[in-house]
Structure 1
Amino acid sequence: MDQLDIDRELTDAGELLASPSALHVAYTALDGTPRVVPAGFLWTGTELVIATAATAPKVAALQAHPDVAVTIDASDGPAGARQLSVRGRAEITIVDGVVEEYLAASRKGMDDEAAAQFEQACRELYDRMARIAIVPRWARYYDFGVGRIPTFLQELAARGAAGR
């Protein structure tokens, strides 16, 4: 998949990337077993940014095994099911204080007062945070309601229609 294809998929998934939904990131833990965890995120236009405590187990795991897969899902029932799948590598930067994208991500789902309270609590809690940036190397957007579905399902549906 070239960068133009990736950019097209991400553009089509703009509503999901701007949503207050959590993403799910899959990675390999230090013991070699798979993990999937939800996280708030901010799409910067080039990176999916998540943040966590600098001491969180996933930080060490991602430093050792930076390849990840990410999904962001939304559904208004079967006809409104949408999903963005992304593969990339996590780049970790430890920052003093709170990762600004973490606060910006929280504002997507909070009113001003709640966001201010959340920010204050974060600034009191975190001395340092890990900024985890994922640059998409592959992306695919599905919108089941309009028939934008995985190829294998398109082929299955076509075979079923032909057999009727």
Structure 2
Amino acid sequence: MATFAGAARLRALRGRPDVAITIDTDAMPPEVLLLRGRAEVTEQDGIVPEYALSHHRYAGPEQGARNVAEMDVPGVRMARIAVRPSWVGVLDFENRLPAALAARA
């Protein structure tokens, strides 16, 4: 994950690096990935590649390139947030929790 240097979340993550992350879908049945681990923050000059890739993916190649070009100015610094999971879980509503789906029907 990436953010701009100086963001309040970076100070919080450096002070308390133990994190929990939930990644899910908005489709039914939901697919949920749960992570727990420690966040490590590293800063670098310029736009980190994954930030540019996310703009290209969500805004399209042309608009993504324009978005990144507007932000990629001299002196810009970004931070990369990496989490090494110490625990991973999956909420599987189709195979592991089928009663949840049956109750919805």
Unaligned regions of 5+ residues in structure 2, if any? 100-105
Secondary structure, counterpart of 2:96 in structure 1: coil
Aligned to 1:46: none
Change (3 A) 1:98 1:116: same
- Give the corresponding residue for 1:106: 55
**Which runs of 5 or more residues in structure 1 are unaligned?**
1-49, 158-164
Q: TM-score, normalised by structure 2?
A: 0.82
**2:87 counterpart (138, 146, 164):** 138
Measured in 2, the distance between the counterparts of 1:126 and 1:65 equals: 28
The aligned residue for residue 58 of structure 1 is 9
Residue number among 53, 67, 76 corresponding to 1:127 in the alignment: 76
Q: Is the 8 A contact 1:96 1:129 kept in 2?
A: yes
Identity %: 39
Over 3 Å counting, the alpha-carbon distance change for 1:126 and 1:136 in structure 2 is: farther
Deviation digits for residues 61-88 of structure 1 (CA, Å, limit 9, x no counterpart): 11111010101110323xx211111011
Give the conservation status (yes or no) of the 8 Å contact 1:98–1:126: no
Q: Counterpart amino acid of 1:55?
A: G
Amino acid in the other structure paired with 1:73 = D
How do residues 15-164 of structure 1 correspond to structure 2 at under 5 angstroms?
Answer: 50-77=1-28, 80-124=29-73, 127-144=76-93, 146-149=94-97
1:54 & 1:106 partners in 2: Cα distance? 18
Change (3 A) 1:52 1:86: same
Larger relative contact order (CA 8 Å, sep ≥ 6): 2
Structure 1 residue ranges, 4+ long, deviating more than 6 angstroms after superposition: none
